[in-house]
Amino acid sequence: MNFFEHQRQARTSSRRLVVLFVLAVAGIVLAVDAALLAAIAIESPTPAAQYGSLPAFAAAHMPALVAASLVTLSVIGISSLVKIAGLRRGGGAVALELGGTRVPEDTHDFPLRRLRNVVEEIAIASGVPVPEIYVLEQEAGINAFAAGWSPSDAAIAVTRGALEHLNRDELQGVIAHEFSHVINGDMRLNIRLMGLLFGILVLAIVGRKVLYHSRGGGRSKGGGAILLVALAVMVVGYAGVLFGRLIKAGVSRRRELLADASAVQFTRQASGLAGALKKIGGVPAGSRLHSADVEDVSHMLFGDGQGLAAWWATHPPLLERIRRLEPGFDGKALQALQAQWRDTPPRGLDEDAALGLVGRESAASTALPGPGRRIAVDARTARHVGEPELEDYRHAAELVSALPEELRRRARDRQDCAPLLLALVLDSEPELRARQLALVAERHDARMASAVEAVTGAVRGLHPGLRLPLAELAFPALRRRPRAELEQLSGTVDALVHADGRVHRFEYCLARLVTVHLRDALDPARAAAIGRVHLHRAHTEVAGVLAVLAQAGHEDAEGARRAFQAGLLEVLPRESTAYRPPSDWAGTLDAALPRLDRLDPAGKKMLVDAMVTATAHDGRVAVAEAELLRTICACLHCPLPPLLGAGGGE
């Protein structure tokens, strides 16, 4: 299943979840109303039989039923909204609630450094911002989860047990599994599940509290009715929670199998993920978590954190997951591992040391193509959207290792990340650069301008293909700055880009990525929404983007025209539109991208295919054009890996 099919299924699952939740709430309201009618019949001096029928009896007490229904709906609705609103703080808030500790950017602890390296490499290979990274230090079981509304506010958390027991390949498989949830929209569904189930649970708790505090008032007038209604609310609420858990389990089990398949597709080897699952089944601690809040996040975990029975389990049976990866594996083999590891659990670092991996956590850097060199790209590039492959992972590791250590340190530092981003936009021409620094001082202060100037020299010699990966490394630290500073920074980047009245492609790419990722981080719930607009309703915007890409990727007008027509034929075959080179390409993109971001998944897939066709109609693109294509895909929330390793060049 590809990225766009995942998106379509995520929207379908969300609709199904809403329908099931509405049915559950309707059933709860009816049950509460029935209990209220029974209580009224018991306490009323007028016998219910005198009303002639149940509908007539209900109609006579309609104001009370309406009031009870509104109170029930209000308790569930408000509680759900409050819970969901609390999760808008980002995935890091969920990790902290479970006792997570954020992994420092400058950590020298080898297991933590290994974890950070793996997460950063997979993020860059996936084309998404690097998430925040947390460790559940008190948890000995092997587990992990991804939380957040969107990739821009995501967090990855792993247990201390995972760090100790898993080797690098196994850790990579687990993190790749979690990134599947990040990329494919599963996290948004997870948060909805948490909110909806919490609303029903609060209703049950309210009924229990009322029942507890009304124990002594059962003999008073109306006391029996109150006790009956409170008992009904509690029973129905807990029944609703059980029903909700069944819904959660059904939705989660399928997504876990899909995430396993995506992780294998990404890493191109099943042994790492299978090894992690075997260790969950073999080590005494398994995947269990001891946090009081584990029920809330059980559907988000890599492994079953509770050990529930099959009906309630949010994960498929462990043996089934392993067999999908290694068909010949059986229960006897798992029992043998349990016996082997009962007294001496495996240590991942020791396994890495035996393979010679300890101390060589970064990949060796390879030569990057020159700024003017053209890279081989073909239509298969579009298949990598949301589905990075092993070669993308290796290339991402090369990009990270090619970055100077000083710049990596600054990108990960909360104070240095903002000056670093601004320095990336500064022009090489001294007079213009001076005007830009004056703008920084005007919009911020002289200290910020000095910090930007201090890093300018190190940034100026950076290979163009490393600038966007460096910016992506900086986003986790950047997100921890106050909202007002982030909004101000986004405006400053835009002002620096337009300081000379011209917009260069890299400047545009950086400014758009900063704007998109910061906007998504500040309002992640809206960013994660899956669009519904059909392609034929965005014809003008589609034509504008294809014209920009065709013009950028081809030096001669005739070649650009043919590329435009080839792209248009792929996305809107029945449309006949003449190629018109845009005079303001940046303005054309700014006007088109918000509308195109609201396309439905099928439309986005066709558009990405068409964009790749238009960009690489002659089979090759320059570094600037490759980054422009990646940036447009990011604005459409269709993450594309870096293309600099796509093939040979000339």
Catalytic machinery residues:
178
Alpha helices by DSSP H, listed for 127-185, are: 160-165, 168-183
- Phi first, then psi, for residue 113 (nearest 5°) are -65, -40
Comparing CA positions, the residue from 86, 94, 80 lying closest to residue 18 is 80
DSSP state of 599: B
Spell out the long-range contacts of 255-259 with Cβ–Cβ below 8 A and sequence spacing 24 or more.
Answer: 255/13, 255/181, 255/186, 255/189, 256/314, 256/315, 256/316, 256/321, 257/316, 257/321, 257/324, 258/1, 258/6, 258/180, 258/184, 259/177, 259/178, 259/180, 259/181, 259/184, 259/186
- Indicate the SS3 state at residue 32: helix
Cα 290 to its chain centre, rounded Å, is 25
DSSP state of 620: E
- Indicate the SS3 state at residue 310: coil
Per-residue burial over 405-422, b = 16 or more CB atoms within 10 Å of its CB, e = otherwise = eebbebbbbeebbbbbbb
Q: Is 86 exposed, middle or buried (0-12, 13-18, 19+ CB in 10 A)?
A: middle
- Indicate the SS3 state at residue 157: strand
Helices and strands, number each (H, E), in the chain: 28, 6
Token pair of 590 as six digits: 């700014």
C-alpha to C-alpha distance for 187 and 88, rounded to whole angstroms: 12
In this structure, are residues 68 and 129 in contact, taking their beta carbons and an 8 Å threshold?
no
DSSP state of 189: H
127: left (phi over 0), alpha (psi -120 to 50) or beta: left
In this structure, are residues 182 and 125 in contact, taking their beta carbons and an 8 Å threshold?
no
Token pair of 245 as six digits: 């858990």
H-helix or E-strand spanning residue 622:
strand 620-622
